Amino acid sequence: MTDLRHGNPGHDAKGHGGHSHKTDLGFEREDLGGKPVFGFIITVVISGVLIYYAIWGIFYFLDAYDKKNQQSRSPLVEIEKANPRDVQEKEIKRFPEPRLEENERTELSNFRYSEEQELNSYGWVDHSAGVAHIPIDQAMQLVAQRGLPTTPQTGTVPLSPVNLARAAAATADTSNMPAEPTQQKGKKQ
């Protein structure tokens, strides 16, 4: 390391008065050499390679240990030797809905086309009940001509458990009824 001295003018290094003939400016006299930089890089590379092989050895050992100590399978279980990532067509049909899309663009365009076909054509919704669908343009014209169907107002609220309980409480409540005159036994009025 270099010796850095910072002195005040008019004082020498020992703190006495007077002027010093020597003025030392502090700066580093030599730069970092190339050998320590290359040594550090080589150490990092060698350490990385050693750590890689150490981790690989640990995983190899653990895999061998797992295969050695794996429980035996029942003879009734079929062992599939095929790659589980390869999916056959029969397995796709067996998998429940919704399935992943294979080709999103064509499936979406096919779906939109079928929706447009249904909106712009005649067809049966339930043939046995006599329910059919008509094109959307014609349905909008019919709604504009006839208006929307409404339910008749009867003024009664459908009975629900809450309304049924309120009705029963109202008929059983006798607090607001006028009191009937009571007759005493044996006396006529």
User: Residue 157 is encoded by which pair of tokens?
Assistant: 């609220």
Asked if 125 and 133 touch (Cβ cutoff 8 Å), the reply is yes
Q: pLDDT of the chain along its 189 residues, tens only?
A: 445 555 455 454 455 555 555 666 676 767 778 898 999 999 999 999 999 999 999 999 999 898 888 877 777 777 666 676 777 777 777 777 777 777 889 989 999 999 999 999 998 888 888 888 889 999 899 889 888 877 756 666 566 666 667 777 777 666 666 666 555 555 554
Asked if 102 and 110 touch (Cβ cutoff 8 Å), the reply is no
Domain spans in the chain, listed from the N-terminal domain onward: 35-66, 89-122+132-139
Prediction pTM value: 0.29
Asked if 125 and 131 touch (Cβ cutoff 8 Å), the reply is yes
Q: Is 186 left (phi over 0), alpha (psi -120 to 50) or beta?
A: left
